[in-house]
Amino acid sequence: MKPDIILTDKINPDQSVVCILGSNEIPEHLVLSKTEKEYAVKRLEAGDESVVINSYYKNTYLIRQKDYSEIYRSREEVRKSAFNIRKTVKSNNHEELVITSYKSYKGAVEDFTEGFILSIYSFDRYKTVEEEDGKKSYPVRLLLHGEVNKEGLDWLKATMTAVYFARDLINEPPNHLNASALAGEIKKISEKSGFSVEVMNKGKIQSLKMGGLLAVNRGSVDPPVFCVLEWNPPDHVNSKPLVLIGKGIIYDTGGINIKTGEHMDNMKTDMAGAAAVAGVIYTAAMLKMPVHVVGLIPATDNRPGGNAYVQGDIITMHNGMTVEVGNTDAEGRLILADALSYASRYEPELVITIATLTGSAAMTFGNKAIAVMGNAGDKYFDLLGECGNETYERIAKLPFWDEYGELIKSDIADIKNVGGREAGAITAGKFLERFSEYPMIHLDIAGTGSLKKDDFYRLKNGPASGLRLLSCFLKKYSENYLKNN
pLDDT single digits (tens) 402-450? 999 999 999 999 999 999 889 999 999 999 999 999 999 999 999 999 9
State pLDDT tens for residues 123-169. 999 988 876 655 679 999 999 999 899 999 999 999 999 999 999 99
Same domain, residue pair 275 and 355: yes
pLDDT tens figures, 283-296 = 999 999 999 999 99
197 with 309, same domain: the answer is yes
Domain end: 101, 125, 148, which one?
A: 148
CB half-sphere exposure, 332, CA atoms < 13 A: 31
* One domain, residues 73 and 161: no
Portion of the chain with pLDDT greater than 90, in percent: 92
Q: Are 148 and 7 in contact (CB under 8 A)?
A: yes
For 207-240, what is each residue's pLDDT tens digit? 999 999 999 999 999 999 999 999 999 999 999 9
Residues 6+ apart with CB under 8 A from 475: 155, 287, 289
Name the residue type at position 322: T
Same domain membership, residue 371 and residue 326 = yes
**Which residue type sits at 224?**
P
Geometric angle at alpha carbon 303, from 262 and 424, rounded to 5°: 60
Residues 104 and 201 in one domain: no
Same domain, 83 and 142: yes
**Residue 461 to residue 121: CA distance in whole angstroms:** 10
What is the per-residue pLDDT across 95-121, written as a single tens digit (0 to 9) for each?
999 999 999 999 999 999 999 999 999
Supply the mean pLDDT for the chain.
Answer: 96
The pLDDT of residue 262 is 83
Are 246 and 135 found together in one domain?
Answer: no
Q: Which is nearest to 302 in space by CA: 227, 357, 243?
A: 357
Residue 84 has pLDDT above 90, yes or no: yes
CA distance 159 to 472: 9
Same domain, 136 and 207: no
pLDDT confidence of residue 347: 98
Strand partners, 324: 314, 416
What distance in Å separates the CA atoms of residue 263 and residue 340, rounded to the nearest whole number? 28
How confident is the model at residue 135, as a pLDDT? 62
Phi, psi of 115 (to 5 degrees): -60, -35
- 139 torsion bin: left (phi>0), alpha (psi -120 to 50), beta (else): beta
pLDDT in tens, 266-280: 899 999 999 999 999
8 Å CB contact between 179 and 199: no
Let me know whether 132 and 204 are in one domain: no
Do 166 and 144 sit in the same domain of this protein?
no
pLDDT band of 196, cuts 50, 70, 90:
very high
- pLDDT for 265 equals 86
* Percentage, residues of the chain above pLDDT 70: 99
Question: Residue 140 sits in a domain of what CATH number?
Answer: 3.40.220.10
Inter-residue contact 438 to 422 (CB < 8 Å) = no
How far, in Å, CA of 248 to CA of 269, rounded?
A: 9
Region for 423 from its dihedrals, namely left if φ exceeds 0, alpha if ψ lies in -120 to 50, beta otherwise? left
Domain edge (last residue) among 148, 181, 199: 148
Q: β-strands 4-8, 50-54: how paired?
A: unpaired
| Residue 482 pLDDT > 80 | no
Q: How far apart are CA 114 and CA 61, in angstroms?
A: 16
Based on the residue annotation, tell me whether 333 is a catalytic residue of this protein.
yes
Average pLDDT over residues 242-246: 98
Domain final position from 105, 129, 148? 148
State yes or no: pLDDT of 246 exceeds 80.
Answer: yes
Domain with residue 369: its CATH number is: 3.40.630.10
Q: In which domain, by residue range, is 15 found?
A: 4-148
Cβ(118)–Cβ(71) below 8 Å: no
Same domain, 122 and 213: no
Query: If DSSP states are collapsed to H, E and C, what string results for the chain?
Result: CCCEEEEECCCCCCCCEEEEECCCCCCHHHCCCHHHHHHHHHHHHCCCCEEEEECCCCEEEEEECCCCCCHHHHHHHHHHHHHHHHHHHHHCCCCEEEEEEECCCCCHHHHHHHHHHHHCCCCCCCCCCCCCCCCCCCCCEEEEECCCCHHHHHHHHHHHHHHHHHHHHHHCCCCCCCHHHHHHHHHHHHHHHCCEEEEECHHHHHHCCCHHHHHHHCCCCCCCEEEEEEECCCCCCCCCCEEEEECEEEEECCCCCCCCHHHHCCHHHHHHHHHHHHHHHHHHHHCCCCCCEEEEEEEEEECCCCCCCCCCCEEECCCCCEEECCCCCCCHHHHHHHHHHHHHHHCCCEEEEEECCCHHHHHHHCCCCEEEEECCCHHHHHHHHHHHHHHCCCEEECCCCHHHHHHHECCCCCEECCCCCCCHHHHHHHHHHCCCCCCEEEEECCCCCCCCCCECCECCCCCCCCHHHHHHHHHHHHHHHHHHC
Catalytic residue among 259, 397, 460, 476: 259
Question: What's the confidence (pLDDT) of residue 134?
Answer: 57
Strand partners, 144: 7, 99
264 and 130 both lie in a single domain: no
- Length of the chain in terms of residues written: 485
Dist CA 150 CA 237 (whole Å): 22
Residue 56: pLDDT above 90?
A: no
CA distance 467 to 416: 30
- For 407-411, the CB contacts below 8 A with 24+ separation are 410/323, 410/324, 411/324
Q: Is the pLDDT reported for residue 205 higher than 70?
A: yes
What total number of domains does the chain contain? Answer: 2
- Residue tagged active-site, from 268, 333, 458, 468: 333
**Gyration radius of the chain's alpha carbons:** 24
CB neighbour list of residue 127: distance below 8 Å, 6 or more residues apart: none
The reported pLDDT for the residue numbered 483 is 80
Q: 461: Cβ–Cβ under 8 A, 6 or more apart, which residues? A: 123, 167, 170, 171
